[in-house]
Amino acid sequence: MSPVVGSAFFLFYLLALCNASGADIALDAKATLLHRIDSLNLLIYTCLLTLTVLTIWVFKHRRVSWLHETGLAVIYGLIVGAIIRYASSTNQVTYIDAHPAPDTKYNLSVPPDILRFRFPDKIQISSGDTVPNKTYAYSFRGEIVNLEQNEIDLKATFDPEIFFNIILPPIIFHAGYCLKRKYFFRNLGAILTFAMVGTALSALVIGALMYGFVQLMPASLASSFTFLDTLYFGALISPTDPLTVLAIFSQLKVDVNLYAMIFGESVLNDAVALVLSGAIQNYEKRYSVDGGFEITAFLAAIGDFIGIFSLSLLVGALLGCFTALMTKFTHVRDWPLLESALFVLMSYAAFLIAEVFELTGVVAVLFCGICQAHYTYNNLSSDSRNRTKQLFELLNFLAENFIFTYIGVSMFTFPKHHFDPWFIIAGFLTSTLGRAVNIYPLSFLLNLGRKPPIPMNFQHMLFFSGLRGAMSFALAIRNTVSEARQAMLTTTSLIVIATVVLQGGAATHALAYLRIPTGYDALQGQNDENEALPYRDVRSETPRSGEAGEKARLARLWGALDSRLLKPLLTHARPPLTETLPGFLSPLARILTTTRQYTQADNSLRRTDSDSDLCLDEPQPVPTSIDPQQLWPGLVDTRISVEGITGSNI
């Protein structure tokens, strides 16, 4: 170390030349303090998650099933939130009242982005230092509603937008990426009815009932809620998040169709509720500009809903298909790291593109996930399959538990809670009613046209699985400007906590009470939460007599389009496009078919591609020695009745 010691004396001399200003350094110290507080907040959540992981391990080890990790995360969050609230000292936030400079010219009705503030200007600094005048930039943060409530603002809370931009995307992508596709498509009609019609219906019923409730309350409260407010509440409380129930389902191997309905609905109704709440807010904007109710504004809101939903879907699906094409026609699979990076980047691009065009990124990411699983996944190298599967599984696990921990902590630390007992009671009642209105009447209507009807105990279980979760909370905390919105946040948080902990804990008993059959083999390794993508072995499937006749027309059409056009176009699946496209398109078909598609003679694709047997009802044993070239055309011809597209080459 002698050079260091030697150089010390050299330094000694030179340091006499230094100079720096005192105020700058005090500012640095302040920035350091804020950074430490931020780090501490994150550390609290990291420790909470670690604790959750360890406790869950103990629970799994001892086969305790009445408390799921999300329920545990909420409970730990509540405990730590209370400790932070009542035990820690407040962070001193300093503030000054400011006025515009006397001769300011400004011609917008919104406050400016930046204030340029001269400090200390004419303020007397009592500490005695002479502080040089400097100009500092202050950026817009939000309206101050309660001038006294400043201190708690910095305590273990985050910008609500991080939920939509960081926490929800991996959760939703993962949901799409592991949608159990075969059973999903088989129950497509029921899932779409519950998710699209049911969620809208539920939002409307909850909104109207809540509006009735608040009118019965004391006048001061009633006036603070508009119908749009309660309708917004209806939209945000409608999406379900039955994680806890589904974990128990996969543990007990509950009927796969019930699983698919509950999971499929919960995935899609998140998207519906998000777009619906956006449309309600857009209506609010249009409406208030004109100052009165207008049919155009209302129609525009409906147009918004349909337009944003379908465009977001399109963006997600296109990016997914584009990734599939890239992985099909390049040899990027030779470098799994590059391939995985490409996969992640394209999926994230779907989110960003949607956000840039004022669509809904989370919805785009959902449909991107579905397409990535359906097409791109089949083109990936096995290394990338594992890597992407495990990456998103881990991200999903961390994000999900973080959000539930945060729900617990923020009950105590978020400064904008407003406890209103009447609103809370009304919220619990109407959200239960809303779920009932979603399930029972729609099940009745569905059963009119459905071959194996949804039995009554399944309906009760669907009703029971109406837990509220991450999406409801994220929507509620997004806007807490008015007292009405704050009351909604509090009510939503309480509903989420109650349903996740209590309903989640009672799920096993509910299954037993409703006599829902458990122990299906077909579920094994397929709906297991640890198995992000179903590597389904066709042979292990048990023939299920009851549902043989159930083939939705929608699912058939889709199945034909998928197996004859999309699959051959986007993956290496057989039959190639040269066989499925009409003759006059054969030059194009030849360009879009890879040599691998022509030449492959093993059935590896068929085995790993879990949804190539989409819409097949009977299990099809695949002998390992058979030539798939023989097997495939037969499958397509006899088992899928092709509608809409006719194959000329078979």
Q: For residue 166, state whether it binds its own copies (rule: CB under 8 A).
A: no
Q: How far apart are CA 89 and CA 151, in angstroms?
A: 10
Query: Is 114 strand, coil or helix?
Result: strand
Q: Which listed residue (8, 448, 591, 601) binds its own copies by CB under 8 A?
A: 8
The answer to whether the beta carbons of residues 167 and 402 sit under 8 Å apart is: yes
Q: How far apart are CA 618 and CA 638, in angstroms?
A: 12
Q: How far apart are CA 591 and CA 328, in angstroms?
A: 12
Q: Please, which of residues 127-156 interact with its own copies by CB under 8 A? A: 127, 129, 131, 134-144, 147, 150
Please state the closest distance from residue 339 (CB atom) to its own copies, in A: 8
Q: Which is nearer to its own copies, 358 or 521 (CB)?
A: 358
Please state the closest distance from residue 337 (CB atom) to its own copies, in A: 6
Q: Which is nearer to its own copies, 337 or 456 (CB)?
A: 337
Cα–Cα separations (whole angstroms), residue 186 to 491, 550, 551, 614: 36, 8, 7, 8
Q: For residue 120, state whether it binds its own copies (rule: CB under 8 A).
A: yes
Q: For residue 82, state whether it binds its own copies (rule: CB under 8 A).
A: no
Q: Please, which of residues 469-528 interact with its own copies by CB under 8 A? A: 481
What angle is formed at CA 331 by the lines to CA 598 and CA 535, rounded to 5 degrees? 70
Q: Which listed residue (108, 219, 591, 601) binds its own copies by CB under 8 A?
A: 108
Q: For residue 227, state whether it binds its own copies (rule: CB under 8 A).
A: yes
Q: Which amino acid is at 5?
A: V
The answer to whether the beta carbons of residues 285 and 336 sit under 8 Å apart is: no
Q: How far apart are CA 156 and CA 418, in angstroms?
A: 18
Q: For residue 161, state whether it binds its own copies (rule: CB under 8 A).
A: yes
Strand partners, 118: 135
Please state the closest distance from residue 420 (CB atom) to its own copies, in A: 20
Q: For residue 90, state whether it binds its own copies (rule: CB under 8 A).
A: no
Rg from Cα positions in the chain: 29
Cα–Cα separations (whole angstroms), residue 268 to 309, 364, 432, 469: 11, 12, 19, 14
Q: For residue 162, state whether it binds its own copies (rule: CB under 8 A).
A: no
Q: Which is nearer to its own copies, 2 or 545 (CB)?
A: 2
Please state the closest distance from residue 649 (CB atom) to its own copies, in A: 33
Q: Which is nearer to its own copies, 100 or 621 (CB)?
A: 100
Listed ranges 172-180, 278-286, 372-380, 536-544: which one lies at the site for its own copies (CB under 8 A)? 278-286
Q: Which is nearer to its own copies, 15 or 601 (CB)?
A: 15
Q: Which is nearer to its own copies, 215 or 457 (CB)?
A: 215
Please state the closest distance from residue 291 (CB atom) to its own copies, in A: 9
Query: Is 316 strand, coil or helix?
Result: helix
Alpha carbon 22 to its chain's center = 48
Q: Which listed residue (334, 587, 599, 621) binds its own copies by CB under 8 A?
A: 334
Dihedrals φ, ψ of 530, to 5°? -75, -10
The overall longest dimension of the chain from CA atoms, in Å, is 93
Q: Which of 49, 41, 161 is nearest to 401 (CA)?
A: 49
Please state the closest distance from residue 441 (CB atom) to its own copies, in A: 8
Q: For residue 311, state whether it binds its own copies (rule: CB under 8 A).
A: no
State the burial class of residue 85 (Cβ atoms within 10 Å of its Cβ: 0-12, 13-18, 19+).
middle
Q: Which listed residue (95, 218, 448, 591) binds its own copies by CB under 8 A?
A: 95
Please state the closest distance from residue 595 (CB atom) to its own copies, in A: 16
Q: Which listed residue (64, 83, 125, 548) binds its own copies by CB under 8 A?
A: 125
What angle is formed at CA 333 by the lines to CA 331 and CA 338, rounded to 5 degrees? 105
Q: Please, which of residues 191-220 interact with its own copies by CB under 8 A? A: 197, 200-201, 204, 208, 211
Q: How many residues bind its own copies (CB under 8 A)?
A: 147
Q: How far apart are CA 630 and CA 378, in angstroms?
A: 21
Dihedrals φ, ψ of 614, to 5°? -50, 135
Please state the closest distance from residue 437 (CB atom) to its own copies, in A: 10
The answer to whether the beta carbons of residues 375 and 567 sit under 8 Å apart is: yes
What angle is formed at CA 579 by the lines to CA 577 and CA 585, rounded to 5 degrees? 60
Listed ranges 248-256, 380-388, 504-512, 560-568: which one lies at the site for its own copies (CB under 8 A)? 380-388
Compose the 548-587 pattern: x for residues touching its own copies by CB under 8 A, - for all others.
----------------------------------------
Q: Which listed residue (346, 370, 470, 476) binds its own copies by CB under 8 A?
A: 346
Q: Which listed residue (64, 116, 382, 641) binds its own copies by CB under 8 A?
A: 116
Q: Which is nearer to its own copies, 221 or 344 (CB)?
A: 344
Q: Which is nearer to its own copies, 124 or 220 (CB)?
A: 124
For 24, residues 6+ apart whose C-beta sits below 8 A from its C-beta are none
Q: How far apart are CA 644 and CA 343, in angstroms?
A: 32
Q: For residue 11, state whether it binds its own copies (rule: CB under 8 A).
A: yes
Q: Which listed residue (243, 275, 332, 454) binds its own copies by CB under 8 A?
A: 332
Q: Which listed residue (64, 83, 90, 112) binds its own copies by CB under 8 A?
A: 112
Q: What is the DSSP letter of 197?
A: I
Q: For residue 547, state whether it binds its own copies (rule: CB under 8 A).
A: no
Please state the closest distance from residue 298 (CB atom) to its own copies, in A: 6
Q: Which listed residue (64, 83, 93, 588) binds its own copies by CB under 8 A?
A: 93
Q: Which listed residue (64, 83, 88, 96) binds its own copies by CB under 8 A?
A: 96
Please state the closest distance from residue 39 (CB atom) to its own copies, in A: 4
Q: For residue 110, state whether it binds its own copies (rule: CB under 8 A).
A: yes
Dihedrals φ, ψ of 367, to 5°? -75, -30
The answer to whether the beta carbons of residues 461 and 514 sit under 8 Å apart is: yes
Q: Which is nearer to its own copies, 437 or 516 (CB)?
A: 437
| Token pair of 143 as six digits | 């309206």
Q: For residue 70, state whether it binds its own copies (rule: CB under 8 A).
A: no
Listed ranges 96-104, 244-252, 546-554, 606-614: which one lies at the site for its own copies (CB under 8 A)? 96-104
Q: How far apart are CA 340 and CA 334, in angstroms?
A: 11
Q: Which of 497, 439, 517 is nearest to 241 (CA)?
A: 497
Which helix (H) or strand (E) element contains residue 131? none
Q: Which is nearer to its own copies, 201 or 407 (CB)?
A: 201
Q: Which listed residue (115, 502, 512, 626) binds its own copies by CB under 8 A?
A: 115
Q: Which listed residue (64, 83, 90, 111) binds its own copies by CB under 8 A?
A: 111
For 361, residues 6+ apart whose C-beta sits below 8 A from its C-beta are 164, 165, 169, 312, 350, 351, 352, 354, 355
